[in-house]
A = this chain, B = another copy of it.
Amino acid sequence: MIVGTEWLVEATGCDPTHLRDESLLRGLFERVTGDLGLKAISDVWHTFAGEGGVTGMVALTESHLTCHTYPEHKIATFNLYCCRTRPEWDWETNLKTILGAAEVSITKIERGDSKPKSQISNLKSEISDLRSRRVGGDA
C-alpha cells in the first residue's frame, strides 16, 4: 500500500554563502510549498554556529519538507514527502538558480510499501540468475 511519495534531492557544488543563509532557504521552502499548494502546520529552523549550515523542517498537512546544508562541502540535501499526488517541482532549475548548484539529483521513493528495497533486491537476483545461467552456457 503506497501512502505517499518522497523526493530525496541532493544539490552539489552550491555557493557556500547561500547554504548559510537561513532567510534564503526559508524563501526557497515558501516557493516549494506555494508552487505545489502545500499547507504548513509548523516549522523548525536552526542555523549552526560558526561556519555551520542550516537545518529546516516544515510539517505539512501533506507530510513534510526538510533541508540540511553543508557549506563546507557545498552540499544541500532536501526531503519532500507528500501523502497526496502533487506535480513534480523543478528542483534542478530552481536549485541551480537559487543556490548556485552545479548538479542536482533526485530520487523518488514510494512510501508505505513494505518492500521499498525490492527494486534493488530484484535486480540483484536477476543478475545472479543471469550469471549462473551464463556459467552454464559457457560450460
Q: Which A residues form the contact surface with B (CB < 8 A)?
A: 1, 3-4, 6, 8, 10, 12, 41-44, 46, 55, 57, 59, 63-64, 66, 68, 70, 73, 75, 77, 79, 81, 83, 103-107, 109, 111-117, 119-120, 123-124, 126-127, 130-131, 133-134, 137-138
Collect the chain B residues with CB atoms within 8 Å of residue A103's CB: 114
Bound-state Cα–Cα, A75 to B4, Å: 11
**What residue of chain B has the Cβ atom nearest to residue A41's Cβ?**
B46
Other CB < 8 Å A-B pairs besides A4-B77, A55-B63, 9 of them? A3-B68, A3-B75, A10-B111, A10-B112, A46-B59, A64-B66, A123-B123, A127-B130, A134-B134
Prevailing SS type, chain A contact patch: strand
**What residue of chain B has the Cβ atom nearest to residue A3's Cβ?**
B70
Bound-state Cα–Cα, A1 to B70, Å: 11
Bound-state Cα–Cα, A19 to B46, Å: 29
Contact A41 B41, beta carbon cutoff 8 Å: no
